């Protein structure tokens, strides 16, 4: 479980390797609200959180297309949306999706 769910406060934080070096580490800490910065940095009126869902190929292509496989696919997508909404809510952002019926599906392996 995440520390926030257990209502625990971290007493130490260690950042791991980041491709962006120190700037990337600060960014990760800021995302978790663990880096001291001016309140204006965190309070962006009208901020957005972009969301691009993906669907594993196995859910679309493996096995027979049954009621159970359909519900597995739908539940997978609903979990992604729920998670994105929770993150947007925690960050006080508006969730926007990059998905369009015209675009190709983002299939992952």
In the numeric block, the tokens 């580490």 are attached to: 25
For 95-104, the CB contacts below 8 A with 24+ separation are 95/48, 95/49, 95/51, 96/48, 96/49, 96/50, 96/51, 97/50, 97/51, 97/52, 97/53, 98/50, 98/51, 98/52, 99/52, 99/53
Weakest mean pLDDT among 21-25, 82-86, 96-100: 96-100
Q: What is the mean pLDDT of the chain?
A: 80
pLDDT above 90 covers what percent of the chain?
A: 19
For the segment 42-76, what is each residue's pLDDT rounded down to a tens digit?
666 668 888 888 888 888 888 888 999 999 999 99
pLDDT of residue 108: 58
Query: Average pLDDT, stretch 78-82?
Result: 94
């Amino acid at each position: 479980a995440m520390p926030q769910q257990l209502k625990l406060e971290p007493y130490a934080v260690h950042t791991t390797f980041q491709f962006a070096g120190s700037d990337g580490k600060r960014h990760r800490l800021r995302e978790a609200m663990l880096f001291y910065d001016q309140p204006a940095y965190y309070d962006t009126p009208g901020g957005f959180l972009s969301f691009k869902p993906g669907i594993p190929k196995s859910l679309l292509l493996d096995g027979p297309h049954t009621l159970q496989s359909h519900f597995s696919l739908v539940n997978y997508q609903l979990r992604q949306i729920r998670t994105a909404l929770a993150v947007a809510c925690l960050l006080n952002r508006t969730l926007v999706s990059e998905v369009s019926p015209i675009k190709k599906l983002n299939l992952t392996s």
